[in-house]
Amino acid sequence: MRMPLVASLVALTVLSGPTRASAQDIDDFVAYLALDFTPLGAFVPLPPATAGARGSAFVLRYGNLDLGETSLNNFGIGGDFAAGRGRLGLTLGVSTCDDCDQENLMAGVDYTAPLTQNKVSVSLRPAFGFSRPTDGDGTALSLGLSLPIGVDLSGASGPVIVPFLSPGFGYGRLSDDGDSESGTRPMLGGGISVSARQSTLAAHLGFQKVFVEDGEMTFGLGVSFGRRASPSTP
């Protein structure tokens, strides 16, 4: 008998590590799952905006979380829009896994506020995420705050290359049939962003980790299309 996505993954997480529940508070795993069910953990983070970046972009994203017995596959579309001094990110997505009789729909919003924009770019990024199954009960909600840090390795010519790390902290809650559990977990994402100097196309490859004992890491990629200017050189 096929099971709903949330129930399947909760069961697989516990069964794949029978000592987990006794080793840690169940709230840790609730936060781990809730964050990974929503865009905060389902996709790799985008880099901070580098100096000279302009305009808005359309973003395609994919993330994979290998749980051993099954894999959680996440597909998302969204936008990265100039908003004030920062950038507003919107994501709509869907999650599916083996032996699940339905999909999970997810949505997220974040805001990237630049703190520095030079060869080293640092931003502050609050984020909110939500998901629910296409048919059935249960919801996942997440809140997060991260500090994306990118280093512009570009020269005077050639591609724009920005490796980055994004340490952060997240809150996650799972709810079903009027009951809910919640918790908090540290997070770390990172990767590398590459684009041609005058191109509207950029590729982002990386990882996202929600820290919990024996927890797995999400790997994925993103492709953005948009109006981008060459980064300025201090």
In the chain, domain spans: 5-224
Where is pLDDT greater, at 220 or 97?
A: 220
Of 181, 92, 93, 175, the C-alpha closest to 136 is 175
Rg, Å, the chain Cα set:
18
Average pLDDT, the chain: 83
How many whole angstroms separate alpha carbon 20 and alpha carbon 128?
27
**In the predicted model, is pLDDT for residue 118 greater than 80?**
yes
**In the predicted model, is pLDDT for residue 221 greater than 60?**
yes
Which amino acid, residue 56?
S
pTM score? 0.85
Neighbours of 182 (CB within 10 A): 15
pLDDT tens per residue, range 147-165: 999 998 877 777 889 999 9
Please give the average per-residue pLDDT across 136-155, as a whole number. Answer: 90
How many whole angstroms separate alpha carbon 7 and alpha carbon 27?
16
- How much of the chain, in percent, has pLDDT values that exceed 90? 47
**Using an 8 Å Cβ cutoff, are 152 and 50 in contact?**
yes
Please give the average per-residue pLDDT across 141-152, as a whole number. Answer: 96
- CATH 3.10.20 for the 5-224 domain, yes or no: no
Where is pLDDT greater, at 214 or 15?
A: 214
